[in-house]
């Protein structure tokens, strides 16, 4: 970890920076894009690194999409990426529940979150209720050579603004995990159900995909992040969840299970000090902070009491696009 970050601002500095590393780990929200809008120049930088045969890994705390759906987003935005290069907190959480917790197949996860979480839990063969599904995917009859199209229904019981009537709630005794991620359709019913499971099902575990307080949407604007969705459950249960995403080791473990890289020749590029930069530091990697997401240069001043300092800073990842010319 550095004591004084180096602000990159010239082509010579960009060249020297890129030459130092073989592996580039990229955060997504606030670095590559804001929702569906790419950061100007980001694609050119990725293309340049690909041309230099650098190893590229995408590491996002955004649990709303599965790896496969992130691949579709990369394709949609014209960014070269393979599924095996993408690590999201939905994937890391599903792997943690199946491989670390080794949740028995007859037990279930109550999901506060979106399709990404459900799809990754399905990939790991983990039963789940809540989220956006009726409690189990409705598998239609086999069609097209065993291609099963899973159809998910919004469970009317959860997607409601009605008061929660506990007398009508059938608590499922097989729920052994409450998994909370970014859920833009959060409501009282979901929190009430999660609370019942966490306080009434013996040994029920509380897991958060990540704990980002805010979600950068571009133009210096922010929305509540996943951490702000699971925060009420922390307050209710007076317990901290096991958190999977950056800066936690579980996310790094899922990457190391798939990719070999030398931390000394690796740089983590992110927009948050308390997730991306700490994550890179804990992994023994160098770190580059971009100023197109959550962190601002003022956050690095001593009086702001930063949790960590990056090794390098750049205004935008896109600034390095000059290397492609």
Ligand X SMILES: O=C(O)[C@H](O)[C@H](O)COP(=O)(O)O
DSSP β-bridge partners for residue 263? none
Say if residue 7 carries a ligand binding annotation.
no
Q: Which of 14, 21, 25, 27 binds Mg ion (CB under 5 A)?
A: 27
DSSP β-bridge partners for residue 267? 24, 286
Q: Is 29 a catalytic residue?
A: yes
Say if residue 246 carries a ligand binding annotation.
yes
What distance in Å separates the CA atoms of residue 22 and residue 227, rounded to the nearest whole number?
32
**With binding defined as CB under 5 A, does residue 241 bind Mg ion?**
no
Q: What angle do CA 317, 323, 325 make, to 5 degrees?
A: 125
Q: Nearest approach, Cβ of 108 to ligand X (angstroms)? A: 23
- Count of alpha carbons within 13 angstroms of residue 56, beta-carbon side: 22
Say if residue 172 carries a ligand binding annotation.
no
Span interacting with ligand X, options 3-11, 137-145, 169-177, 207-215, rule CB under 6 A: 207-215
**With binding defined as CB under 6 A, does residue 289 bind ligand X?**
no
DSSP letter at 100? I
Catalytic site residue from 19, 29, 274, 299: 29
Q: What is the CA 255 to chain-centroid distance, rounded?
A: 13
Residue 39: CB atoms within 10 Å: 21
Q: Is 75 a catalytic residue?
A: no
What distance in Å separates the CA atoms of residue 218 and residue 210, rounded to the nearest whole number?
20
What distance in Å separates the CA atoms of residue 302 and residue 306, rounded to the nearest whole number?
7
Q: Which of 42, 57, 60, 196 binds ligand X (CB under 6 A)?
A: 60
* Nearer to ligand X among residue 201 and residue 287 (C-beta): 287
Q: Which of 127, 210, 243, 266 binds ligand X (CB under 6 A)?
A: 210
* Nearer to Mg ion among residue 59 and residue 115 (C-beta): 59
* Nearer to ligand X among residue 114 and residue 196 (C-beta): 114
Span interacting with ligand X, options 58-66, 71-79, 144-152, 157-165, rule CB under 6 A: 58-66
User: Between residue 266 and residue 305, which ones bind Mg ion under the rule CB under 5 A?
Assistant: 271, 293
Helix axes 67-76, 115-123, angle to 10 degrees: 130
33 close to 308: Cβ distance less than 8 angstroms: no
Q: Which residue has the tokens 């590491």?
A: 59
Which amino acids are annotated catalytic?
27, 29
Residue positions forming the annotated binding site for substrate: 246
Residue positions forming the annotated binding site for Mg(2+): 27, 29, 271
Site for ligand X, rule CB under 6 A: 27-30, 60-62, 182, 210, 212, 215, 225-226
């Amino acid at each position: 970890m550095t004591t004084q970050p180096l602000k990159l601002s010239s082509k010579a500095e960009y060249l020297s920076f890129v030459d130092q590393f073989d592996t580039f780990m990229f955060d997504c929200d606030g670095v590559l894009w804001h929702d569906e809008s790419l950061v100007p120049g980001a694609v050119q930088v990725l293309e340049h690194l690909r041309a230099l045969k650098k190893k590229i890994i995408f590491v996002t705390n955004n649990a709303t999409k599965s790896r496969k759906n992130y691949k579709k987003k990369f394709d949609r935005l014209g960014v070269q990426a393979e599924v095996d290069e993408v690590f999201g907190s939905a994937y890391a959480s599903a792997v943690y529940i199946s491989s670390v917790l080794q949740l028995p197949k007859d037990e279930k996860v109550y999901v506060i979150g979106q399709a990404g979480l459900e799809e990754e839990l399905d990939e790991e063969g983990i039963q789940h209720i809540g989220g956006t599904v009726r409690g189990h995917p409705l598998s239609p009859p086999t069609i097209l050579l065993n291609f099963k199209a899973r159809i998910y229904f919004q469970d009317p019981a959860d997607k409601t603004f009605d008061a929660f009537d506990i007398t009508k709630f059938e608590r499922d005794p097989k729920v052994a995990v409450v998994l909370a991620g970014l859920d833009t359709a959060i409501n009282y019913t979901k929190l009430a159900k999660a609370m019942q499971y966490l306080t009434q099902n013996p040994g029920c575990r509380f897991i958060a995909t990540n704990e980002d307080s805010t979600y950068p949407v571009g133009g210096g604007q922010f929305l509540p992040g996943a951490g702000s969705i699971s925060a009420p459950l922390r307050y209710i249960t007076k317990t901290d969840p096991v958190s999977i995403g950056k800066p936690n080791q579980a996310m790094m473990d899922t990457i190391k299970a798939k990719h070999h890289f030398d931390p000394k020749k690796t740089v983590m590029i992110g927009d948050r000090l308390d997730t991306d930069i700490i994550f890179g530091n804990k992994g023994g990697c160098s770190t580059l902070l971009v100023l197109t997401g959550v962190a601002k240069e003022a956050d690095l001043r001593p009086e702001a009491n930063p949790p960590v300092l990056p090794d390098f800073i750049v205004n935008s990842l896109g600034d390095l696009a000059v290397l492609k010319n």
